[in-house]
Structure 1
């Protein structure tokens, strides 16, 4: 049994592959990703200027973040195990003539064995709540980044408020996401995430929350990590 199978949920891969053709439609099921991407990009770039750096985007999907980081001047490798989503990412890069971005179908654990300490930064955004073993992903991210390099993470907290906002609100009331996008028990508390990071040799540098106003359709970063949150870590 390969590592790709070990730390990927076939149901999750099928779910995102089924929607792959809609990835770059800003009014599709992926609208939230399009709307939060400028925030994610500027947050990363403010702490780690991307221009001229080699960056790995883990769980890149259709390439929304990968593409934008490449356009900021980074040399980007996006990896995922959802074949159709990767094809969409590759096609978009060709059509948009995006420079310095490539996509590979490989698990982060397998890539860590092949290319340890070969990236200046690794991003793993909106992905850890979809895998069976998030700690394994973080260990691989740490192995892939150079000493002193950055690992950027975003995911969803696990508490009654996050259940109400991220599942009931986003999937059933506001229809921001397809129903079944998230499973509550896969959400990760910041304290748990901090433990995974420490065990992987990653030191926490900063934490931010992300909030949403359904009336204005506006997202912003704040100190409130009760639902969506982002972590910037550095390899010690």
Structure 2
């Protein structure tokens, strides 16, 4: 069975036409993209690399990485999101290959073909995140980079990512996140280590609702990013 929740796919498919509207429900992705893009590029050196973006949605990160000189493949299971991503290429002129395929399916088809794999804001939306992590190690070359980002599981994360973002600030539609699916950094690190992806760095992403600014720092209590390397 495909590792996907039909209700999650439907939720994002209904919003797909707004993916590239920076004032829409996807505004947070537009605002954090420069931060995560520079962090990834600084660690992996994207220029000339073959990169896979898992759960690419409408292609915000995929296009950003292509702009850094990477040869990018973006995969997702939402037909509508992929249609929007492909349509936006006509406007941006970016070179990204979008495919409808799961990470697990592509891992069986193209093992070890990518220098860099990104899986951002996606693990908390699938039934079996550990399966995606295992697919990532199969997809990346020995010595290659894998990047994850997701949401911590603790009371503060619930307060900020669900109550604050969805109900108070209304930055995201209600029901975007399910607290039960949030992932502690220790759990993600354990899954990664168990398949040969030892973590190299963990960094937090914070947001100030007054200044409406995001920044990367040491606070991983809500949103965080993890850099791993496949063992040779």
TM-score grouping bracket, smaller chain normalisation: over 0.9
Aligned residue number for residue 136 of structure 1:
131
What residue is the counterpart of 2:175 in the other structure? 180
1:174-217 per-residue CA deviation (whole Å, 9 max, x = no partner) reads: 00000000000000001111111011210111110000001111
CA shift for structure 1 position 96 = 1.2
Q: Which aligned segments of 4 or more residues in structure 1 are displaced greater than 4 angstroms?
A: none
Measured against aligned partners, the alpha-carbon deviations of 1:94-139 in whole angstroms (never above 9, x if no partner) come to: 221113x110000000000000000001000000000000000000
What are structure 2's unaligned runs of at least 5 residues?
none
The answer to whether 1:46 aligns with 2:42 is: yes
**Superposition map of 1:220-235 within 5 A:** 220-235=215-230
5+ long unaligned stretches in structure 1: none
Q: With the length of structure 1 as denominator, give the TM-score of the two structures.
A: 0.97
Q: Distance in 1 between matches of 2:162 and 2:195?
A: 29
Distance 1:191 1:45 in 2: 24
Separation in structure 1 between the aligned mates of residue 107 and residue 120 of structure 2, nearest angstrom: 18
| 1:211 maps to 2:202 | no
Secondary structure at 2:135's aligned position in 1? helix
Match for residue 119 of structure 1 among 111, 114, 122: 114
Q: TM-score, normalised by structure 2?
A: 0.99
Match of 2:150 in 1: 155
Q: Secondary structure at the match of 1:21?
A: helix
Determine whether 1:110 maps to 2:105: yes
Equivalent residue for 1:200?
195
Aligned pair 1:67/2:41, yes or no? no
Written as runs of structure 1 = structure 2, the 5 A alignment for 1:21-100 is: 21-99=17-95
Task: Give the deviation of 1:162 after TM superposition.
Answer: 0.2
Describe the SS at the equivalent of 1:154: strand
Aligned pair count? 231
